[in-house]
Amino acid sequence: MSIEARQETLGFQAEIRQLLDLMIHSLYSNKEIFLRELISNASDAADKLRFEALKDDSLYENDTDLAIRVEFDEKQKTITVMDNGIGMSREEVIDNLGTIAKSGTRQFFNALTGDQNKDVHLIGQFGVGFYSSFIVARKVEVTTRRAGLSRGEGVRWISTGESDYTIETVDRPKRGTRVVLCLRDGMDEFLNSYRLRGIIRKYSDHISLPILMIREGKDEKGDETVNSATALWARNKKDISEEEYHEFYKHVAHDFEDPLTYLHSKVEGKLEYTSLLFIPSHAQFDLWDREQRHGIKLYVRRVFIMDDAEQLIPAWLRFVRGVVDSDDLPLNISREILQNNRTIDSIRAGCTKKVLGLLQDMADRDAEKYAGFWNEFGRVLKEGVIEAKDDKEEIARLFRFASTHDDSDKQAVSLMNYMERMQQGQKAIYYLTAENFVTARNSPHLEVFRKKGIEVLLLTDPIDEWVTAHLHEFDGKPLQSVTRGELDLGDLEDQDQEDQAENTNQGQDGLTERIRQSLGDKVKEVRTTNRLTTSPACLVSDEHDMGRHLEKILKATGQSIPAVKPILEINPEHPIVMRLKDETDDGRFAEWARILFDQALLSEGGQLEDPAGFVHRLNALFLDLAGSKNTQDGT
């Protein structure tokens, strides 16, 4: 058999150098985690082999005792981590160890500031993985062969973690991967059996494969299993410490930080499964990426079946990490079968309920912690009321909004808080959607609500438009936009104001009609309102037309939507409106009317069709007023 050595030197993807720099700098005080990462990869490799071997058991090559082995050599100053998992082909080595395939990589690098002190915490969110070897190693040598390939198709990868690596084809009788770390000076502390065992127990005890080391001592040399080597989730809750849960999370989620919270439960009865679900502390970089990976891992009777089993958790809970282990599914289940499977549907419904319960519990017990969760994942959770058929009210209960109650941009008000503060006789939950908090807070539409002390929720996430379109009511109360339809405050309307509105309305018919004619097809209607107290005018949409803010969002995404004309509402009490009524000059009346319209548009954060024209008109009026003032002064 001839082995074509095919040796070549290849450059790392540019980002890797940057990543390595950052990692070595930022994780220096935590360097022992390299071992956790290598063991985690070895364990994943064993899972993948088990899974592929379900279809083709020749991949085991008569070696079914999957294990991870850790060795060290004091003289050579090396540490070796070996596995008999799936291994890698030449191409896979280049893809996996020469580029960062993680989705979200670009966002990660964009987020870096160049200030290492600031960037340090980012790396934790990104995950460290294989490259953490270079924290302790000056040179890393990986020898591997993929299961199923011939012994001549082994691969050796060597790098000093600078700009490139070499790769060559080698003879490798054994399937699986061996990683040899040649330690840097000053890393001798790791050349110690006691220390290595301690690290393994601390970080990798939950790994379900045996992690073997050579037995110490004078008696005959043999292997010793260092970890518990049982699937963590299959163990009794009582016997698992918080640290163990946290380390397990880091392994399944490929995360570096502790999770925010978790839930371990065993369901028994007609359907039997165990779930161990975690809420991460921070949003994953790829939370908004369509190709996001690493969700829930599916196991069947302790055998790994697949990563990212998206059928096990709805998309609006895609930030949840963990494992589900079913006793009922067949081992040879495929993704296609998962899509139409009753058992899976019940498991998903069960997991969904559990996560909602877990979040509600966190919200009830620890508002501050929940605020942290909401900040990271609230916008994803909001998709729930759009997508879910059931549980809408339960999901909405978890929402938090900014509101006029405390006028802070912190989203801290729940719908229950709102309901508790509702006024006697208030018929609806009022909200306003806008592009940002400042625009929302200063919106003229809020004036009468502020005057009467009626709370309005201020919604500023783009998704809120869809949320309110799908959440029509909460606890029996309808959600009502303050920028839509005629304002009907019902019992909250004060009688004198109503009378006044009627009175003034009667007298305004001429004015509103004159403004409408002057504005032409810019508006659908002009009418007086009691919505305003200090502003002269605002724009609203008809009850059944598309909301103005939604229209803007859709336009921004390039969708062509039929133009919806707004309704201009004027405040009959406002001096400008009163002044307009007496304006006899048609030309000047038209200028004023147009300014009213443009102002109303500006105050809702809208874009003027003709900004220069607006400025011009405004200046003309200023001069006009100044002129009349001067003549007054002169007399």
State the residues that interact with ligand ADP by CB under 6 A. Answer: 37, 41-42, 45, 83, 85-88, 96-97, 127, 129-130, 177, 254
The distance of closest approach from Cβ of residue 41 to Mg ion in the complex, given in angstroms and rounded to an integer, is: 4
Q: Which own/partner contact pairs does 289-296 have at CB distance under 8 Å and 24+ positions apart?
A: 289/103, 289/104, 289/107, 291/103, 292/103, 292/104, 292/318, 293/103, 294/252, 294/253, 294/254, 294/321, 295/320, 295/321, 296/320, 296/321, 296/322, 296/323, 296/324, 296/351
Asked if residues 602 and 615 have their Cβ atoms less than 8 Å apart, the reply is no
Whole-angstrom Cα Rg for the chain: 33
Q: Which does 127 bind (CB under 5 to 8 A by kind): ligand ADP, Mg ion, none?
A: ligand ADP
Helix (H, G, I), strand (E, B) or coil at 94: helix
- The closest residue (CB) to ligand ADP is 129
DSSP state for residue 489 in the 8-state scheme: -
Q: How far apart are CA 272 and CA 206, in angstroms?
A: 22
The distance of closest approach from Cβ of residue 38 to Mg ion in the complex, given in angstroms and rounded to an integer, is: 8
In 3D, which of 432, 429, 459, 430 has the Cα closest to residue 444? Answer: 432
The distance of closest approach from Cβ of residue 133 to ligand ADP in the complex, given in angstroms and rounded to an integer, is: 9
The distance of closest approach from Cβ of residue 323 to Mg ion in the complex, given in angstroms and rounded to an integer, is: 16
**41 vs 284, which CB is nearer to Mg ion?**
41
Note the residue count of the chain. Answer: 635
- Does 274 engage in binding with Mg ion (CB under 5 A)? no
- Between the alpha carbon of residue 1 and those of residues 88, 89, 199, 382, the distances in Å are 21, 19, 42, 61
- Does 41 engage in binding with Mg ion (CB under 5 A)? yes
The distance of closest approach from Cβ of residue 293 to Mg ion in the complex, given in angstroms and rounded to an integer, is: 12
The distance of closest approach from Cβ of residue 286 to ligand ADP in the complex, given in angstroms and rounded to an integer, is: 12
**131 vs 431, which CB is nearer to ligand ADP?**
131
Q: Which does 86 bind (CB under 5 to 8 A by kind): Mg ion, ligand ADP, none?
A: ligand ADP
CB-side exposure of 528: number of CA atoms within 13 Å?
26
Query: Residues 64-103, buried b or exposed e (16+ Cβ, 10 A)?
Result: eebbbbbbbeeeebbbbbbbbbbbbbbeebbebbbebebb
The distance of closest approach from Cβ of residue 83 to ligand ADP in the complex, given in angstroms and rounded to an integer, is: 5
**90 vs 348, which CB is nearer to ligand ADP?**
90
The distance of closest approach from Cβ of residue 294 to ligand ADP in the complex, given in angstroms and rounded to an integer, is: 8
Number of residues that bind Mg ion (CB under 5 A): 3
The distance of closest approach from Cβ of residue 129 to Mg ion in the complex, given in angstroms and rounded to an integer, is: 4
In 3D, which of 299, 235, 310, 246 has the Cα closest to residue 273? Answer: 299
The distance of closest approach from Cβ of residue 130 to ligand ADP in the complex, given in angstroms and rounded to an integer, is: 3
The residues near 40 (Cβ < 8 Å, ≥ 6 apart) are 204, 207, 250, 251, 254
Sheet-wide strand order for 537-540: 525-528, 567-570, 537-540
**140 vs 454, which CB is nearer to ligand ADP?**
140
The distance of closest approach from Cβ of residue 101 to Mg ion in the complex, given in angstroms and rounded to an integer, is: 12
Q: How far apart are CA 292 and CA 278, in angstroms?
A: 17
Q: Which does 85 bind (CB under 5 to 8 A by kind): Mg ion, ligand ADP, none?
A: ligand ADP
Q: Which does 45 bind (CB under 5 to 8 A by kind): ligand ADP, Mg ion, none?
A: ligand ADP
For residue 31, count CB atoms less than 10 angstroms from its CB and return exposed for 0-12, middle for 13-18, buried for 19 or more. Answer: middle
**26 vs 352, which CB is nearer to ligand ADP?**
26
Cross-strand bridge partners of residue 484 = 541
The residues near 378 (Cβ < 8 Å, ≥ 6 apart) are 399, 400, 411, 461
C-alpha 336: how far from chain center: 27
Asked if residues 184 and 67 have their Cβ atoms less than 8 Å apart, the reply is no
**146 vs 318, which CB is nearer to ligand ADP?**
146
Q: Which does 18 bind (CB under 5 to 8 A by kind): Mg ion, ligand ADP, none?
A: none
**98 vs 129, which CB is nearer to Mg ion?**
129
Q: Which does 51 bind (CB under 5 to 8 A by kind): ligand ADP, Mg ion, none?
A: none
Helix (H, G, I), strand (E, B) or coil at 339: helix
Q: Which does 83 bind (CB under 5 to 8 A by kind): ligand ADP, Mg ion, none?
A: ligand ADP
**36 vs 484, which CB is nearer to ligand ADP?**
36
Q: Which does 96 bind (CB under 5 to 8 A by kind): ligand ADP, Mg ion, none?
A: ligand ADP
Q: Which does 16 bind (CB under 5 to 8 A by kind): Mg ion, ligand ADP, none?
A: none
Beta strand 429-433 with 457-459 is: parallel
In 3D, which of 97, 127, 131 has the Cα closest to residue 286? Answer: 127
**131 vs 316, which CB is nearer to ligand ADP?**
131
Q: Which does 280 bind (CB under 5 to 8 A by kind): ligand ADP, Mg ion, none?
A: none
Question: Binding to Mg ion (CB under 5 A): which residues in 110-129?
Answer: 129
**84 vs 528, which CB is nearer to ligand ADP?**
84
**40 vs 274, which CB is nearer to Mg ion?**
40
Asked if residues 469 and 383 have their Cβ atoms less than 8 Å apart, the reply is no
In 3D, which of 551, 533, 543, 528 has the Cα closest to residue 601? Answer: 551
The distance of closest approach from Cβ of residue 309 to ligand ADP in the complex, given in angstroms and rounded to an integer, is: 17
**127 vs 547, which CB is nearer to ligand ADP?**
127
Q: Per CB under 5 A, which region of 33-41, 70-78, 224-232, 600-608 contacts Mg ion?
A: 33-41
Positions touching Mg ion (CB under 5 A) are: 40-41, 129
